[in-house]
Amino acid sequence: MGGGDAVNKTQQLLAYIVKNHSRLSVTGLMKLAYLSDLVSIKKNYGKITAYEYIRYKHGPFDKRIYEHVRKLVDQKIIYEDVDFSPTGDEFIVYKYNTESEHDYPQLPAKAKGVVDEVLESLKGYGAKALTEVSYRTKPMLKLGAKLDNEVGLNQKLDLMAK
């Protein structure tokens, strides 16, 4: 599998998202994982990741993403690059290492299909737009969370919310 066998299913999902998206910050990566989980649950496939999302200031979040991204970087499956916002602020984006031989053995075809669907429907969305989309999802709406409020801050999201 190149890079070691210890990459878990959630990390494989993150690597797959990075491979199929041109430039992602941690915020964008987190939102795409969250939206992929929601779509997968809606299709009755169950959750793809091991994340327990909480309502954070910038939307759904699980701090374990930092450890997962670090492991993928350490194993040279993805790498960090620097990008700049329109205002000139520097930030880290993640890119797929094309020399990686990672083949996602724990990521079922259904999960890849869900991610492909999410990426296709949100093509071109950056972190800000993905955050806005995440605030319109049922779990966030159920809490009463909005971009301009702190309602439900640090509360666990109910991914089964109707």
User: Does the residue 160 lie in any domain?
Assistant: no
User: Does the residue 3 lie in any domain?
Assistant: no
User: Does the residue 49 lie in any domain?
Assistant: yes
pLDDT at 106: 85
Question: Residue 65: pLDDT above 90?
Answer: yes
Question: Residue 3: pLDDT above 50?
Answer: no
pLDDT at 75: 94
User: Does the residue 135 lie in any domain?
Assistant: yes
Residue with more model confidence, 5 or 159? 159
Residue with more model confidence, 46 or 4? 46
User: Does the residue 162 lie in any domain?
Assistant: no
Number of folded domains that form the chain: 1
pLDDT at 7: 79
pLDDT at 1: 33
Domain limits at 50? 9-143
User: Does the residue 68 lie in any domain?
Assistant: yes
- Percent of the chain at pLDDT exceeding 90: 83
pTM over the 0.75 mark? yes
- Rounded to the nearest integer, the mean pLDDT of the chain is 92
Question: Residue 80: pLDDT above 90?
Answer: yes
User: Does the residue 103 lie in any domain?
Assistant: yes
- Percent of the chain at pLDDT exceeding 70: 96
pLDDT at 104: 83
CATH code, domain with 59? 1.10.10
User: Does the residue 128 lie in any domain?
Assistant: yes
pLDDT (tens digit, 9 = 90+) per residue, 90-117? 999 999 999 988 778 889 999 999 999 9
Mean pLDDT, residues 120-146:
94
Three-state helix/strand/coil letters over the chain: CCCCCCCCHHHHHHHHHHHCCCCECHHHHHHHHHHHHHHHHHCCCCCCCCCCCEEECCEEECCHHHHHHHHHHHCCCEEEEEEECCCCCEEEEEEECCCCCCCCCCCCHHHHHHHHHHHHHCCCCCHHHHHHHHHCCHHHHHHCCCCCCCCCCCCECCCCCC
